[in-house]
Structure 1
């Protein structure tokens, strides 16, 4: 059995914060002793994503090496995150997810992102 800490929850929460209008947010995946830090920057409808590899998860961003970056629309990013987690749930099932990775499937965070994304796509008229 492997453990994935709270990285999936952090990732989904970071994307949800962007959808909700936050301009900068982060998530971190621990790879002990190294870490991968996702930095999300939003300007208008665009999102810039930078992934840094750090030798220690407590290191400052400046101590990391950028291993990937991309630009996506906020809608594309949210849709991709939701689809990926839906696929994991469908492929493995939530019970097997816990058995395989030692943590509960991040259903609460996924559904929070889904609600925000739907509201973002279809804002109600005043």
Structure 2
């Protein structure tokens, strides 16, 4: 399994963000537009994995291109495939895989939470809204955090 995964969400021009994915093997750069709820969709997809779903997806629109995240879970292992598509409505087979990683569900959740905690700390929620054009995804981030904590410390029967 990989270790040391890092995701960075950097706000750019109004309504745009750059997302950098890094692990010990590779780095990928993605763009996201605020025409869709990319951060909320991404956080919700990871929360679904933590809750036990075996497959989920998220997509960042980059007008007209798109970046599709495909998450597959087996036990505590997560496989992440990121595809670049020239059209966001295209089938997966039309995409080019630009990043792949395998890691544990706890590591993925921790990495994503850390990413958005850093965004909130760097910009504050008001500045985030001014730059991104939408509210900071606080509800989705806290839902993921609650699920992750419950996953780390399950209740005894």
The reply to whether TM is greater than 0.5 is: yes
Taking the aligned partners of 2:133 and 2:115, their CA distance within structure 1 comes to 19
* Cα RMSD (Å): 0.7
Give TM-score scaled by structure 1 length.
0.98
Secondary structure of the corresponding residue to residue 26 of structure 1:
strand
Return structure 1 stretches of 4+ with deviation > 3 angstroms: none
Choose which of 83, 87, 97 in structure 1 pairs with 2:128. Answer: 97
> 1:60 aligned to 2:80?
no
> CA offset at residue 122 of structure 1?
0.2
Secondary structure of the corresponding residue to residue 134 of structure 2:
coil
Taking the aligned partners of 2:153 and 2:95, their CA distance within structure 1 comes to 38
The equivalent of 1:114 in structure 2 is: 145
Give TM-score scaled by structure 2 length.
0.79
The equivalent of 1:39 in structure 2 is: 70
Structure 1: runs of 5+ lacking an equivalent = none
The total of aligned residue pairs comes to: 126
